[in-house]
Amino acid sequence: MAEKRTTDKEERKQTHFIPTKWLRHYDVIDGNGQLLGRVEQIIVDMSSGHVAYMLVATEGVARSHDKWVAMPPGVLTWEPENVRFTTSVLSDNLGDAPTVPKPDRDDATLQQLRDADEHARLLSVISGFYSVTPFRLQTQDEELQPAAEPVAEFVPVSHLTYYDVINDAGEDMGQVQEFVLDMAGGQLACVVVAFGGTLGLTDKWIAMPFDILTWQPETHKLKLDAPRTALEDAPGIDKDEWPDRFLGELSDRNEHAAWMERVYGCFDCSPYWTC
């Protein structure tokens, strides 16, 4: 989550891409080197692709009150070599931390995250408690309506699903098969879309930047800002090797980032970590 970016090599060290289907419950180690808890949910804002906050089941406070502590990505540092998060926050200082009710079923967290105004208020409370600056929520028609209300739809990554992809004319451009999360940058990096043919048989799987997709909260679809020819010309992914063998052949984080740069280059985009 570090903000300073210098050389290209250093920038690449700040990215670590994991398909959302690989995500699991990661330990969080506090400022004393003790286990603070485990990440139960990662909440993303579909309007921007940013990780909004993480829900952590702590060893003491949250579990005793049947709540999960909400922590912003700005206070959590991803350690890919240890596959865990660390934080300077101490477990003893979480007594008044913002929490959300621990859901009693798998879809309950999703149902708690419906109202955009509530999203913005909760994000403000979380950021204020930890004294960090939240990412800026997008607004609709911002240039024409400077006072427009924030637009956000927070979704647990465990609920990201096979969203349809359409173009400006509402025509079918494929279906999302997988989201890829940058654990170090706190950002949805790209999506894998099945395009053309018969879904599951003759379709072509393409990795594309999340930046060229716009979330449509009314329909729960993603609108593609690229012509059909871009998808036709983009290199395909062997669906039988994704993600295990495909990403497994990329031996380190620099190779992962180099692959992601090629994904962005196919759509004439600059990677978000270089902008």
- The 10s digit of each residue's pLDDT in 201-210 is 558 999 999 9
For 226-265, write each residue's pLDDT tens digit: 999 999 999 898 888 888 766 766 656 677 788 889 999 9
Asked if residue 110 has pLDDT above 90, the reply is no
- What pLDDT is attached to residue 1? 36
The CATH class of the 23-138 domain is: mainly beta
Find the angle CA(20)-CA(23)-CA(27) to the nearest 5 degrees. 150
Strand partners, 178: 192
Per-chain mean pLDDT for the chain: 80
* CA distances from residue 161 to 34, 93, 147, 183, 207 in whole angstroms, order as listed: 35, 36, 32, 19, 16
Residue with more model confidence, 131 or 21: 131
Distance in Å from the first CA to the final CA of the chain: 15
- What pLDDT is attached to residue 77? 95
- What pLDDT is attached to residue 150? 45
- What pLDDT is attached to residue 155? 80
For 135-157, write each residue's pLDDT tens digit: 765 444 444 444 444 455 778 88
Where along the chain do its domains lie? 23-138, 160-274
| Count of other CB atoms within 10 angstroms of residue 170 | 10
Q: 68 near 62, Cβ under 8 Å?
A: yes
Strand partners, 209: 190
- What pLDDT is attached to residue 6? 36
Equal fold, 23-138 vs 160-274: yes
CB neighbour burial string for 210-225, b if at least 16 within 10 angstroms, e if fewer: bbbbebbeeeebbbbe
Asked if residue 17 has pLDDT above 90, the reply is no
For 260-272, write each residue's pLDDT tens digit: 899 999 999 988 8
Identify the weakest region by mean pLDDT among 33-42, 96-105, 148-157, 183-192.
148-157
Residue 199's closest CA among 231, 174, 173, 228?
A: 174
Strands 221-224 and 164-166: parallel
Residue 53's closest CA among 95, 89, 99, 9?
A: 99
Highest mean pLDDT among 43-57, 96-110, 113-127, 128-142: 43-57
Superfamily of domain 160-274 in CATH is PRC-barrel domain (2.30.30.240)
Residue 26's closest CA among 43, 42, 50?
A: 42
Asked if residue 101 has pLDDT above 60, the reply is yes
Residue 231 in tokens: 């998808």
Q: Rounded distance, CA 21 to CA 174, Å? A: 19
- What pLDDT is attached to residue 148? 42
Asked if residue 194 has pLDDT above 70, the reply is yes
Asked if residue 11 has pLDDT above 60, the reply is no
Asked if residue 23 has pLDDT above 70, the reply is yes
Q: What is the mean pLDDT of residues 122-136?
A: 86
